Amino acid sequence: MSKPPQVDTAQIRARYPDVFNRPASSRLATPSMLVAALAIFAFGLVDLDFSPSRLISGLSQLGWISMMMIPPDPGSSLPLYLKAMGETLSIALLGTTLAALLALPVSLFAARNVVPGIVRFPIRRFLDSIRGVDTLIWALVWINVVGLGPFAGVLAIAVSDFGAFGKLFSEAIEGADQKQVEGIRASGGSALHEIRFGLMPQVLPVIAGQVLYFIESNTRSATIIGIVGAGGIGLQLAEQIRVLEWQKVSFLILMILIAVAAIDFISGKLRFAIIGRRAIA
C-alpha cells in the first residue's frame, strides 16, 4: 500500500494567503447571522409566552385529546357532514371558476407583452393587494355583504384567487412566443385577433393546468372558511371542536384528508390529460 503524499501545509498557506487568512468580515458573517437568528428566536419564545410548564401541560392535554379522538365516529350526523363536504367542494369549484373567468381579461392588462408599463404597474399592485389579504379575511368581508353561508365562501375564494390567477395568467402570457402574434399582425389582424389567435392558443393549456391545480388547493381553503361562518365543512369542524366532541372532530379531519386526496388524484389525471406530462412545471 502506498502512503498518501505528505502535504506541506506551511507552503500551501504561503501560496494561498487569502484562503487561510480571510478577513474577519467574511469569517464572521455566517456565525453572526446564526447568532442573530437564534437571538430573535429566543426573544420570540420569551415574548410569545413559551414556558416549559405550559408546553408540558399542553402536550399532555393534547395527548388526552388525541386519545379521545379514537375511534373517529360521526355519531348520527353523517348525512349532515356529507352535505357539508359537498358544499365545500361546490364552493371550491365555483370560486375557482369565477376567479379564472374574472382574471383572464385582467391578466391581459398585466402582461408586459400586451400593454405598456404604465397600465401594467397599477394593475399589478392592485392584484398584489388582493393577494396580500388572506382568504379568511375576504370571507369575513363577504359575510358582511351577503350574509352568513356558503355563498360568501364562493365569493371569498373567487376574490382571493382572482389576485393569484391574475399574476399567474399574466406570467403565462408573458412567457408566450411573440412570433405568432407578429404573424397575425402581419396578416392584418387587429389587437383582438392577435390575442385570440396568437396568444390564447399558447396560454390556454397552461392556464387550464393552473386552474385545475387551484381547484385542488382551494378544496383545502374551502374546508376552513367555514370557521368564520362562510359555509362548508369548516363550520361543522369549528363547532365540534368548540363543544369538545373529539370523535366527531377526528372523523371530520379524516373526511377532509380523504376529500383532498381524491381531488388531488382526479385533478392530477385531468391535468395530464389536458396539457400532457411535460408542461407541468
Residues 159-218 that bind other proteins (CB under 8 A): none
Output DSSP code: residue 248. H
Shortest distance (Å) from residue 10 CB to other proteins? 26
Measure the CA–CA gap between 140 and 69, rounded to whole angstroms.
30
DSSP code string of 256-268: HHHHHHHHHHHHH
102: left (phi over 0), alpha (psi -120 to 50) or beta: alpha
Nearer to other proteins, 150 or 198 (CB): 150
Query: Is residue 121 involved in binding other proteins (CB under 8 A)?
Result: no
Shortest distance (Å) from residue 26 CB to other proteins? 15
Residues 78-97 that bind other proteins (CB under 8 A): 86-87, 89-91, 93-94, 97
Nearer to other proteins, 28 or 40 (CB): 40
Query: Is residue 132 involved in binding other proteins (CB under 8 A)?
Result: yes
Of 8, 182, 18, 238, nearest to 230 (Cα)?
A: 238
For 256, residues 6+ apart whose C-beta sits below 8 A from its C-beta are 223, 233, 237
Nearer to other proteins, 14 or 55 (CB): 55
Query: All 3 cell numbers of residue 102?
Result: 374574472
- Amino acid identity at 59: L
Q: Which residue has the cell 348525512?
A: 79
Measure the CA–CA gap between 210 and 268, rounded to whole angstroms.
11
Measure the CA–CA gap between 161 and 98, rounded to whole angstroms.
9
Lay out the site mask for other proteins across 98-117 (x = CB under 8 A, - = otherwise).
--------------------
Query: Is residue 44 involved in binding other proteins (CB under 8 A)?
Result: yes
Query: Is residue 29 involved in binding other proteins (CB under 8 A)?
Result: no
Nearer to other proteins, 75 or 147 (CB): 147
For 162, residues 6+ apart whose C-beta sits below 8 A from its C-beta are 99, 102, 103, 106, 127, 130
For 276, residues 6+ apart whose C-beta sits below 8 A from its C-beta are none
Q: Which of residues 220, 247, 268, 272 is near other proteins by CB under 8 A?
A: 220
User: Which residues are at the interface with other proteins (CB under 8 A)?
Assistant: 37, 40-41, 43-45, 47-50, 54-55, 58-59, 61-62, 65, 86-87, 89-91, 93-94, 97, 128-129, 132-134, 136-137, 140-142, 144-147, 149-151, 153-155, 220-221, 223-224, 227-228, 231, 237-238, 241, 244, 249, 253, 256-257, 260-261
